[in-house]
């Protein structure tokens, strides 16, 4: 037995000991994950994306209390990427730890190879070692991070034309080493307030070049979305951005079809209200407005038909993280935005309100024959609302309306997120509501008028 094989099993044993709850489940996600079957059962824009909710794993090790918190989210994907992954190829101990956490939390992994400072040969060998030699059948691999911003991150400067040639070289080497992997890219950071058809939009230029030259090799088209600098104070501006998200992502899916001639899943592999990890105030990643915005973004992503959306980050990146540095700090509002979509699956049901300060999204599950609603009150006033399902001729739920009620109904506090399960037969509602003042509060069966 070779020395590195012995080292490998010692590292696996270390992961068993260091991360409680791993045990025999270390490889569980590998046998359970069937990407083609998931895609076959998904109709973008009509059914909930099977991998809708995602989180991010960066350079910091998650403490066990963070792992437990993510485990409770029931999110679908985790991306191990960012500019730190462009510094070097990570060692085997890091891979073991990451894969163990992904398995425990039931997360499908997306892992980034080092493009900024690595070579195609190094990338291919790293993927081969992880997947073939050591058995981590990680299904998704991305190549590099935000190449359009490399000079600002201390890396070399490349043109879009140089980048697409290099990406293709990396992709071919990786595919030759491990033909079964699925490639994700280009992880360009879009300028949200610039049209994708604007000839002066630099990121759009990179994106178009990538799709035209490398669209035949990529399996998932990925972008990053950070709309604000972190110092904005206009609440209406902050909470109005999700409408722009829908416009840009709809156009992105069209652009993919136009430039590649085929339907390729689209993902947002990084997003938050801002990229600024030092921000404080309304536009910071730990504000209630970041939580409200993210709750709406996930609903809109489902409607647009995005494969997954990975919020940045989970832990260790100051105000951008779902959790603070210490266990004693309550989870941030963005955590509850993700939690609101736990159980959100099945057919998308049209859902709306006459109030422009209310965003609502609904899915219908054939499994328990219930409606799952996510309702975001973006206004500074408390609202009392009633859920009114509209039945189709065949007896199914055609749509759901949220109507203002004088009595009964559900009370939505100002700036709040509600995750509700509605039984159409008994007209009972259960779930919870979160707001920045009171935290998470349960909604009981008696909270809705009949």
- What residues have CB less than 8 Å from 14, skipping those under 6 apart? 93, 96
Task: Give the rounded distance of the alpha carbon of 210 from its chain centre.
Answer: 22
Q: Last residue of a domain, which of 310, 339, 368?
A: 339
- Tell me: do 200 and 252 sit in the same domain: yes
CA distances from 371 to 292, 299, 302, 344, 400 (A): 21, 14, 15, 9, 9
- Tell me: do 305 and 362 sit in the same domain: no
CATH of the domain at 243: 3.20.20.80
pLDDT score for 21: 41
pLDDT score for 33: 62
pLDDT score for 368: 83
Q: In whole angstroms, what is the distance from residue 379 CA to residue 373 CA?
A: 18
- Tell me: do 147 and 220 sit in the same domain: yes
Residue 176 belongs to domain spanning:
3-339
φ, ψ for residue 80, nearest 5 deg: -100, 95
Q: Last residue of a domain, which of 339, 368, 388?
A: 339
- Tell me: do 224 and 277 sit in the same domain: yes
> What mean pLDDT do residues 67-84 have?
93
pLDDT above 60: residue 14? no
Residues in the chain: 450
* pTM across the whole model: 0.91
Q: Last residue of a domain, which of 339, 364, 382?
A: 339
Sign of CA dihedral 353, 358, 359, 360: negative
- Tell me: do 203 and 72 sit in the same domain: yes
Q: Do the bridges between strand 108-113 and strand 309-311 make them parallel or antiparallel, or are there none, so unpaired?
A: unpaired
Q: Which tens digit of pLDDT belongs to each residue from 373-396?
A: 999 999 999 999 998 888 664 556
- What band does 84 get if pLDDT is binned at 50, 70 and 90? confident
* Number of structural domains in the chain: 2
Q: In whole angstroms, what is the distance from residue 253 CA to residue 263 CA?
A: 8
pLDDT higher at 46 or 389: 46
- Tell me: do 317 and 413 sit in the same domain: no
Q: In whole angstroms, what is the distance from residue 385 CA to residue 400 CA?
A: 12
- Tell me: do 192 and 268 sit in the same domain: yes
């Amino acid at each position: 037995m070779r020395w590195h094989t012995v080292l490998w099993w010692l590292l696996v044993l270390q992961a068993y000991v260091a991360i409680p709850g791993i045990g025999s489940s270390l490889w569980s996600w590998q046998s359970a994950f069937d990407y083609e079957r998931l895609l076959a059962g998904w109709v973008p824009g009509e059914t909930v994306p099977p991998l809708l909710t995602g989180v991010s794993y960066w350079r910091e090790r998650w403490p066990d209390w963070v792992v437990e918190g993510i485990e409770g989210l029931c999110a679908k994907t985790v991306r191990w990427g960012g500019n730190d992954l462009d510094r070097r190829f990570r060692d085997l101990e890091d891979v073991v730890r990451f894969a163990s956490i992904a398995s425990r939390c039931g997360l499908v992994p997306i892992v980034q190879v080092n493009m900024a400072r690595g070579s195609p040969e190094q990338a291919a060998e790293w993927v081969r070692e992880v997947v073939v030699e050591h058995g981590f059948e990680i299904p998704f691999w991305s190549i590099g991070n935000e190449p359009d911003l490399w000079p600002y991150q201390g890396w070399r400067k490349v043109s879009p034309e140089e980048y697409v040639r290099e990406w293709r070289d990396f992709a071919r080497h990786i595919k030759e080493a491990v033909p079964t992997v699925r490639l994700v890219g280009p992880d360009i950071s879009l300028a949200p307030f610039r049209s994708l058809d604007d000839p002066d939009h630099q990121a759009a230029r990179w994106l178009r070049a990538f799709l035209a030259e490398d669209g035949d090799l990529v399996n998932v088209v990925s972008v990053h979305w950070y709309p604000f600098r972190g110092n904005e104070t206009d609440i209406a501006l902050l909470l109005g951005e999700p409408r722009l998200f829908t416009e840009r992502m709809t156009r992105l899916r069209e652009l993919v079809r136009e430039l590649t001639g085929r339907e390729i899943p689209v993902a947002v592999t990084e997003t938050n209200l801002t990229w600024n990890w030092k921000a404080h105030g309304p536009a910071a990643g730990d504000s209630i407005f970041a939580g409200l915005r993210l709750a709406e973004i996930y609903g809109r992503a489902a409607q647009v038909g995005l494969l997954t959306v990975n919020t940045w980050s989970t832990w260790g990146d100051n105000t951008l993280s779902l959790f603070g540095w210490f266990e004693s700090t309550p989870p941030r509002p963005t955590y509850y935005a993700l939690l609101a979509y736990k159980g959100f699956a099945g057919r998308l049901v049209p859902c709306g309100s006459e109030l422009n300060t209310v965003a609502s999204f609904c899915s219908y599950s054939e499994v328990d024959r219930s409606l799952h609603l996510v309702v975001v009150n973006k206004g500074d006033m408390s609202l009392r609302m009633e859920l009114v399902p509209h039945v189709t001729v065949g007896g199914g739920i055609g749509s759901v309306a949220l109507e203002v009620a004088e009595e009964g109904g559900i009370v939505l506090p100002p700036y709040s997120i509600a995750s509700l399960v509605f039984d159409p037969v008994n007209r009972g509602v259960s779930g919870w509501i979160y707001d920045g003042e009171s935290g998470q509060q349960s909604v009981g069966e008696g909270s809705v008028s009949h």
